[in-house]
């Protein structure tokens, strides 16, 4: 795993969290007695707490529990969890000691993924609880389980066969014969055979990645709106994979045979964004800064009278500390992005102004290199981005129009090259703007045509302007795009000035979904990241880097991509014929 990876910012509702817990200095009424601590983990649902899992029983007053809680991630950051400490001497003697309640927000935003909280009873503190969260290492391993009721021994009292339905629940083994519920099936009518829809689980969810861990199935029947237990059985994935697929249903005392259940299981690799990042997925970053005057109408024609800055309206005007609204925005956003960059390189552009760099001439006011070198827009990390931006303030005249299309197109061209090169790089385009847009139709056309590319567009709102058009571009209605992909994210910084800890999560919220969608659509396996770029593809890297320069027109870049594609296909065909 790459050490610079900040996984917490890329969680989606399809992901899981792995919680580790430890207690220190447990106080008890009689310090002379030995205690056997155990932590019970409760999750809030509909206003009340429900037992979700528990640790093993430890010994002593400073237990480090080896059992980890695997829980589903959700965007409901107000959701609460309760940790309950008990003295668990045996299955019949359990003594409550203390508890603590925290929210998902407190957990996820904790520094270094670790939080310490006090556990108390009604009167005083009992101990300190340390909670550490991580992403399960084998999150891409899935199990597809098909369940069938192949035999049912009828008994008196079972009537109205055509009107009854069957449901089953699955629970994984915890400790002291306790089972944690992990799944409930749909209800199916009484037909022969009775087969439920296949259920997919992460291996961590169903059996904590231990294929030999016991799983309990409880079968129930609903008849005349009354539910009754039919029977239960125990099985493991290991048994099914090694040929045993039928298991006897019995009563709760396991004394009487009531029927048979049959299972089929399939192992599936189903990766998510975090898995691809761990395997080596890299990002290319393109940043663009808006140099139009915020008081100009977005539909105004290019200004004939460019101005260095407008002291009343310009967000490029420095305060007493030498900071502008844009430099403050860069300080908030760039460090987030650099968490996912191995080389810390950023291609920096400007738009909506007239570049007047001494050593170069750039005609395109909708996309110009901020370094002053049209063929080398690259800067190093936050420091390079800030220095380049501040140096540009006196070298770019403010004006208009406010066109996004050329910047978006440059990112799309980079993504097209990345698609030809394989699946190892993703393009992220980030525009810093104070609102308004002159070429909405052209920009939407680029977005529409980029739905099947490895790309994400991010728009960062600077200042207190009207961002209505940015909201339209973001438009969470993915059906608006021809490809059905939601690849634009808008974030207004002013809305988060009192909630800055939420900015990384909100900025990156759509990115993992887009990565998952693209990779799954192209059926990309993790093994693809182990392959070196072939010699015939290395020339593409040089061509791809030319896209970042501003001396080539869009048409020239498109022609280069088409020619490179034809060349690659011809070489592959030649190799294929030679092999035959």
Give the β-pairing of 378-380 and 345-351: antiparallel
Q: What is the pLDDT of residue 304?
A: 43
Distance CA 520, CA 540 (A): 24
Overall residue count recorded for the chain in this entry = 580
For residues 341 and 382, is the Cβ–Cβ distance under 8 A? Answer: no
pLDDT for residue 160: 43
Identify the pLDDT of residue 360: 65
Dist CA 72 CA 184 (whole Å): 16
Per residue, the 3-state secondary structure of 395-426, as one string, reads CEEEECCCCCHHHHHHHHHHHHHHHHHCCCEE
DSSP 307: B
Dist CA 576 CA 580 (whole Å): 6
pLDDT at 567: 67
Residues of the chain with pLDDT under 70: 1-10, 12-14, 28-32, 75, 90-91, 137-140, 154-162, 175-177, 254, 293-313, 359-364, 476-484, 531-580
Output the pLDDT for position 548.
67
| DSSP state letters, 450-498 | TTTSSEEEEEEE-SS---HHHHHHH-S-GGGSTT----EEEEEGGGGTT
Cα 130 versus chain centre, distance: 25
**What is the reported pLDDT for 526?**
80
Taking a C-beta distance cutoff of 8 angstroms, is the pair 427, 283 a contact?
A: yes
Enumerate residues 6+ apart whose C-beta is below 8 A from 481: 447, 448, 451, 487
Can you give the pLDDT at residue 308?
44
Query: What is the pLDDT, as a whole number, of residue 301?
Result: 43
pLDDT of 310 reads 44
Q: What are 369-423's pLDDT values in tens digits?
A: 899 888 889 999 999 999 999 998 888 887 778 889 889 998 988 888 888 777 7
């Amino acid at each position: 795993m790459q050490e610079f990876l900040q996984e917490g910012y890329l969680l989606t509702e399809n992901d899981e969290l792995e919680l580790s817990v430890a207690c220190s200095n447990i106080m008890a009424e009689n310090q002379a007695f030995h205690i056997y601590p155990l932590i019970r983990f409760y999750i809030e649902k509909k206003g009340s707490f429900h037992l979700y899992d528990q640790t093993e029983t430890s010994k002593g007053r400073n237990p480090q529990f080896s059992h980890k809680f695997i829980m589903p991630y959700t965007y409901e950051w107000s959701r609460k969890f309760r940790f309950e400490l008990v003295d668990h001497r045996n299955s019949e003697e359990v003594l409550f000691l203390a508890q603590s309640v925290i929210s998902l927000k407190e957990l996820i935003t904790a520094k270094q993924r670790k939080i310490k909280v006090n556990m108390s009873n009604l009167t005083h503190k009992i101990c300190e609880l340390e909670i550490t969260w991580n992403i399960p290492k084998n999150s891409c391993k899935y199990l597809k389980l098909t369940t069938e009721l192949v035999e049912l021994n009828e008994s008196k009292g079972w009537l109205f066969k055509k009107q009854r339905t069957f449901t089953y629940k699955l629970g994984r083994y915890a400790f002291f014969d306790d089972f944690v519920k992990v799944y409930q099936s749909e209800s199916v009518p009484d037909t022969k055979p009775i087969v439920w829809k296949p259920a997919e689980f992460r291996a961590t969810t169903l059996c904590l990645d231990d294929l030999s861990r016991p799983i309990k199935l409880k079968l129930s029947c609903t008849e005349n709106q009354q539910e009754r237990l039919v029977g239960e059985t125990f099985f493991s994935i290991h048994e099914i994979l090694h040929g045993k697929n039928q298991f006897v249903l019995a009563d709760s005392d396991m004394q009487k045979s009531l029927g048979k259940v049959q299972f089929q299981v399939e192992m599936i690799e189903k990766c998510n964004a975090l898995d691809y990042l761990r395997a080596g997925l890299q990002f290319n970053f393109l940043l663009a800064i808006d140099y139009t005057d915020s008081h100009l109408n977005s539909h105004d024609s290019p200004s004939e009278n460019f101005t260095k800055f407008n002291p009343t309206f310009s967000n490029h005007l420095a305060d007493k500390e030498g900071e502008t609204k844009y430099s403050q925005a860069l300080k908030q956003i760039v460090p987030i992005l650099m968490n996912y960059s191995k080389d810390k390189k950023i291609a920096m552009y400007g738009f909506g102004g007239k570049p007047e760099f001494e050593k170069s001439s750039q005609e395109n006011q909708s996309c110009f290199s901020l370094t002053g070198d049209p063929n080398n827009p690259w800067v190093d990390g936050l420091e390079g981005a800030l220095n380049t931006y501040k140096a540009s303030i006196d070298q770019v005249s403010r004006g208009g129009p406010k066109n996004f299309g050329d910047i978006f197109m440059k990112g799309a061209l980079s993504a097209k090259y990345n698609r030809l090169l394989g699946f190892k790089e993703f393009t992220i385009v980030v525009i810093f703007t104070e609102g308004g847009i002159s070429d909405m139709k052209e920009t939407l056309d680029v977005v529409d045509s980029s739905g099947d590319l490895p790309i994400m567009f991010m728009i960062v709102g600077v200042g207190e302007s009207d961002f209505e058009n940015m909201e339209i571009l973001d438009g969470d209605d993915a059906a608006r795009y021809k490809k059905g992909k939601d690849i634009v994210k808008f974030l207004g910084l002013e809305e988060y000035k009192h909630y800055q800890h939420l900015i990384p999560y909100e900025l990156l919220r759509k990115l993992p979904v887009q990565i998952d969608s693209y990779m799954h659509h192209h059926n990309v396996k993790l093994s693809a990241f182990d392959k070196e770029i072939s010699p015939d593809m290395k020339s593409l890297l040089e061509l791809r880097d030319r896209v970042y320069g501003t001396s080539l027109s869009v048409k020239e870049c498109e022609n280069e991509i088409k020619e490179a594609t034809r060349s690659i296909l011809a070489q592959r065909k030649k190799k294929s014929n030679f092999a035959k």
